[in-house]
Amino acid sequence: MPYVEGFVLAVPNDRKAVFLQQAAAAAPVFKECGATRVVECWGDDVPEGKRTDFHRAVQAEPGEVVVFSWIEYPSKEVRDAANQRIRTDPRMQAIGEKMPFDGRRMIFGGFLPILDV
């Protein structure tokens, strides 16, 4: 099974076009570094919970939309090597300087799939 790196973040609704443009520019770099799939999902039906929810997880502010993303790699080793390359890639550094969201509130992690049907 592949290895999955997942992300949840809050993007100002009026920055959606900028976010999509940057995500579209970053996706080929991830794929060049070994990713097999890059998915960006704009929040559409993200309810607020009584104890916890996606909004609280990223401290979403009024006017921000929760974004759920993931990148698939053939293995954790490929993901680890890709992340090393991505950190030093000048294209990604340029994208990182103009992020349309507060990266300090992004949550992320690596996951081993245990069921894929």
- For the stretch 53-78, pLDDT in tens is 999 999 999 999 999 999 999 999 99
User: According to the model, what pLDDT value does residue 97 have?
Assistant: 85
Q: Is residue 2 predicted with pLDDT exceeding 90?
A: yes
Number of domains in the chain: 1
- For the stretch 88-100, pLDDT in tens is 999 998 888 888 9
Q: What is the CATH number of the domain that holds 93?
A: 3.30.70.100
Domain-located, residue 47: yes
Q: Look up the pTM and report it.
A: 0.92
- For the stretch 9-32, pLDDT in tens is 999 999 999 999 999 999 999 999
What is the domain extent for residue 83? 11-65+75-101
Q: Read out DSSP for 22-89?
A: HHHHHHHHHHHTT-SEEEEEE-SS----SS--HHHHTTPPTTEEEEEEEEEES-HHHHHHHHHHHHH-
